[in-house]
Amino acid sequence: MFKADIVGEAEIEAAWGRVVAEIRVGAVRGAGLGAKEGAEEARRKHVFRNRTGELEKSISHITIGWVNGTTYVAKIVAGKKYASWVEDGTRPHLIVGNPWLVFEWKGVLVRFRYVNHPGTKPHPFMGIAYQKAERVVIREHELAVARAARILDKL
């Protein structure tokens, strides 16, 4: 007959609780910092022509929090309704005035009932944000795992 006793079970259990807490802290920090730094990166490195500054100012991050026991959520958002048109571009399309479209064209004020817009090229900026956020999340998770390993090394 063989017998095995677990010595220090309470200490192991306590250490494991600290390990889990450390990983959770890393998830929170990674998501929050990732979204924050991703939004900053998009504002800083976008390639669209910044005419009014409104789109750039609308790029921000939002922390949602824990959505279940294992998932912490933060988001990067562009709050202007035309953000997706800048990100993805647009196909040629008809623009109809209500009743008129009035704008300056070649130095002259003109009025049209409608115009055929040629469309726009995409100027992706949210991908820049996502890539930066991903790097930050990975970095923060790796740091959390290293801290957790140090806790286990002390056993």
For residue 117, list its beta bridge partners: 93
Residue 109 lies in a domain: no
Please check whether residue 104 lies inside any domain of the structure: no
Residue 72 lies in a domain: yes
89 falls within a domain = no
Range of the domain at 46: 9-79+120-153
Query: What's the structural domain count of the chain?
Result: 1
pTM of the model: 0.82
Question: Does residue 3 fall inside a structural domain?
Answer: no
Q: Is residue 128 part of a domain?
A: yes
| Per-residue model confidence as pLDDT tens digits over 16-73 | 999 999 999 999 999 999 999 999 999 999 999 999 999 999 999 999 999 998 899 9
